[in-house]
Amino acid sequence: MTFILSEDAQKDDDDNLSALLTGWSLNNREVAWLWLSLVGQEGERLDDCQFNSPTMRDKIARTLKYKRSLKRDLEHARETQLLPLESFGWIERNGRQPKWLAAEAMRKTNLRLRNSVFRTLPNKDQVIVLFDLWNTEYSRKERALRHLAEDWNEHLRTDKIFKWFKDQDEREKCSLAWNWLEQNHPTLIRLEKPFTRHGELLEFFDHSSASSGEKELYVEKIKRRWSTQKTRVNATHKKQYNFVLNNNINAALDKLAEEHQLSRTKILEELIQRETEHRLYLVPR
């Protein structure tokens, strides 16, 4: 069973933990918070494999039973530091957003939770855990969570940098981007899975160390690589010719190119193609 903090679990009123902590809801969120507080902040030796097991609650109860001062500290923290679950209602359960928020929440709270229990939680619940374990006043948590939402909306605005990748050539462009990074910035993609879609590219850059300016520079260079490759492909179907034209013809060709906003080469191609199709001007000799 997946242990989800943001959904209520069936409470057992007859177990030792409920008897010890009367008045607590002891839902998934509170039990996980107790466990991680004991392990991470109090240094208690609790086996991670017992998390989300039938013995989990009893293990917490046995740990707290003989540590009254610790029990009082946790009761006080529960009353003064835990934000209501509704405060996190705007966070999506899965996907890019909660993954980015979890990384940012870790940075804001300056907590580094490395144990296996934390890593198995869904990203949204990781955000909740980080705010729950953050030992600071309630009002500061409220402000930080509000700023986190604002930061996410601001971060979404930078998606426009990568708009070029989202079209009918999405897979080809993303593949080119990965190859370019592999050749020019291999440390940036170390331990990362290759991205093949626009959404995967966005997630990659969400967590990369590249600044906004560097991201824009990378995209511009990838665009140039794309343009160069396409030019080479098109050039395989063309052959270069050199013509000597008199000044009047040169001037006329320049004028046509300017009027139609086309290159001189394109004007010549169009004229030759139309004469070939319609035979309007040249008379066979």
- The pLDDT tens digits for 102-139 are 999 999 999 887 767 788 888 999 999 999 999 999 99
Does 278 have pLDDT greater than 80? Answer: no
Q: What is the DSSP letter of 193?
A: P
Q: Note the Cα 40 to chain centre separation in Å.
A: 27
- The pLDDT tens digits for 9-58 are 545 556 888 889 888 888 888 888 888 888 865 566 767 666 766 688 88
Q: Which residues contact 121 (CB under 8 A, 6 or more apart)?
A: 3, 5, 32, 129
Q: Which residue has the higher pLDDT, 276 or 81?
A: 81
Q: Quote the Cα angle for 52-40-23, to 5°.
A: 60
- The pLDDT tens digits for 176-195 are 999 999 999 999 998 899 99
Does 101 have pLDDT greater than 90? Answer: yes
The predicted model scores a pTM of 0.73
3-state secondary structure of 195: coil
- The pLDDT tens digits for 234-248 are 666 666 677 788 888
**Tally of CB atoms within 10 A around 189:** 15
Per-residue pLDDT, 1? 39
Q: Chain-wide mean pLDDT for the chain?
A: 86
Residue given tokens 């996190």 in the structure block: 88
Backbone angles phi, psi at 167, to 5 degrees: -155, -165
